Amino acid sequence: MRLAVFSAKPYDKAFISAAHSARDPSSSPVTITYHDFSLDALTASLVTDADAVCVFVNDTLTADVLEILSSNGVRAVLLRCAGFNNVDLPAAERLGLAVANVPSYSPEAVAEYAVALVQTLNRKTHRAYNRVREGNFALQGLLGRTLAGKTVGVVGTGRIGVSFARIMKGFGCTIYAYDPYPSPALEGIGEYLPLEELLPKSDFVSLHCPLMDQTHHIINAKTLALMRPGAMLVNTSRGGLVDTGAVIAALKEKKLAGLALDVYEGEGKLFYDDHSGDFIEDDELARLMTFPNVLISGHQAFFTEEALTEIAECTLRNLEDVTLGRPCPNSLVKDRKILVRRDSLPVRNV
Ligand code: NAI
């Protein structure tokens, strides 16, 4: 089995190689090629010697990309992430490609990071850090709010949302939640409300729902108008949940007292790479970065040793499932088996 890994950073190589070396030697052999560039319409045609591709959040797998891959012999797409909004699944089905994701890699990692953003934004530790290094020990401008007794709105109560809610409850907050599919896991932690009732009641709102047609710009001018004056918003889910122009307006009006984004609508062109020598062409992102009460990080909520280990191990398990024709629990299409030509298997040194 020949696996081509795209958008491979040094940490991806380290964790995937470690999981690969730790595999049972009697399982089907895999040769791995790492590409540091992303997979998209321009790079897809370079994939001429792979049975499977392994991709991440900002690789683009539209129908035309999948068609090129399929015609070049690729039989499977392995996502190193949970979200699959970047893959045209109906096109993959039509082309007979196997597609599998890593549905859960340390939901606590993302939830804990969202909590870190809440407290950084609220207690302004990002500003304190810079001030103190300049020898400025003044407190003016660093006033925060005690979390105990505050209200927190959780939008989306899957694995990450529930974990986040549990931690915030531990701070002594009252938890309100919105999810069209309520979860019994929230019992004893919080109360479900319709979104339009949750927003005016919440001092902090944190987004944990997937990006879909129904959730695109779930935070927009209309829903921002429903939020409590002085509320803070955190998004660690997907950038497309937030209408950037609308949050900029709400920040300028001082309706929104703080915004923390680990994900951004236009992140595909920037995140995961060093652009420190360039100017930022995205005017909305550049505007956001001028606000002292806006905190932006580059899609790193998942980034813990535990999560990277699980991503690497689960990706290789998914590959083995589809290679051997075993039912793959993480399949996003009707289960497929990769039919590998015997001559494509690497020679094994005994
Ligand atoms: P999950 O699938 O366990 O939960 C998602 C929840 O959203 C479900 O309970 C679902 O019913 C709910 N939902 C669906 N439609 C909704 C709507 N219209 N409004 C509100 N809720 C709705 O997913 P999980 O593991 O909790 O992940 C949540 C999101 O976090 C993912 O979709 C992904 O986009 C994001 N994520 C971000 C990471 C990062 O590093 N920043 C890492 C991993 C995931």
Q: DSSP letter string over 262-325? A: SS-TTGGGTTTS--TTS----HHHHHHTT-TTEEE--S-TT-SHHHHHHHHHHHHHHHHHHHHT
Residue 350 domain flag: no
pTM of the model: 0.90
Residue 172 domain flag: yes
Q: Are 336 and 76 in contact (CB under 8 A)?
A: yes
Dig out the tokens for 282 from the structure: 């995205």
Whether residues 95 and 162 share a domain: the answer is no
Q: Are 261 and 287 in contact (CB under 8 A)?
A: no
41 closest CA partner among 64, 23, 58: 64
* Three-state DSSP class for residue 213: coil
Whether residues 139 and 128 share a domain: the answer is yes
Ligand 1 pocket residue status of 238, Cβ below 6 Å:
yes
Whether residues 255 and 286 share a domain: the answer is yes
Q: How far is CA 154 from CA 19, 129, 204, 229, 255, in A?
A: 34, 28, 9, 17, 19
> What pLDDT was estimated at residue 64?
98
Whether residues 37 and 111 share a domain: the answer is no
**How remote is the CA of residue 158 from the centroid of ligand 1, in Å?**
6
Other Cβ atoms closer than 10 A to 5: 24
Whether residues 130 and 21 share a domain: the answer is no
Whether residues 137 and 285 share a domain: the answer is yes
Ligand 1 pocket residue status of 178, Cβ below 6 Å:
yes
Q: How far is residue 166's CA from residue 173's CA, in Å, rounded to a whole number? A: 10
Q: What is the pLDDT of residues 226-263, one digit of tens each?
A: 999 999 999 999 999 999 999 999 999 999 999 999 99
Q: Which one is catalytic: 2, 80, 159, 267?
A: 267
Q: What is the pLDDT of residues 108-146, one digit of tens each?
A: 999 999 999 999 999 999 999 999 999 999 999 999 999
> What pLDDT was estimated at residue 334?
80
Q: Are 207 and 219 in contact (CB under 8 A)?
A: yes
Whether residues 145 and 281 share a domain: the answer is yes
Q: How many domains does the chain have?
A: 2
**How remote is the CA of residue 308 from the centroid of ligand 1, in Å?**
19
232 closest CA partner among 218, 250, 214, 244: 250
**How remote is the CA of residue 229 from the centroid of ligand 1, in Å?**
26
Residue written as token pair 């900002």 = 58
Within the chain, which residues score under 50 in pLDDT? 340-350
Specify the CATH number for the domain of residue 267: 3.40.50.720
Whether residues 96 and 55 share a domain: the answer is yes
55 closest CA partner among 82, 78, 37: 78
Residue 321 domain flag: yes
Q: DSSP letter string over 26-62? A: TSPP-EEEE-SSPPSTTTGGG--S-SEEEE-TT--B-
> What pLDDT was estimated at residue 105?
87
Ligand 1 pocket residue status of 160, Cβ below 6 Å:
yes
* Three-state DSSP class for residue 5: strand
Q: How far is residue 72's CA from residue 59's CA, in Å, rounded to a whole number? A: 18
Ligand 1 pocket residue status of 215, Cβ below 6 Å:
yes
Whether residues 161 and 292 share a domain: the answer is yes
Residue 347 domain flag: no
Residue 348 domain flag: no
> What pLDDT was estimated at residue 25?
75
Q: Which one is catalytic: 2, 238, 317, 336?
A: 238
In terms of residue numbers, what domain contains 230? Answer: 107-296
Nearest CA to ligand 1 atom 1: 158
Verify whether residue 253 is a known catalytic residue. Answer: no
Whether residues 126 and 271 share a domain: the answer is yes
Whether residues 280 and 329 share a domain: the answer is no
Verify whether residue 267 is a known catalytic residue. Answer: yes
Residue 349 domain flag: no
Whether residues 171 and 278 share a domain: the answer is yes
> What pLDDT was estimated at residue 24?
82
Q: How far is residue 240's CA from residue 248's CA, in Å, rounded to a whole number? A: 15
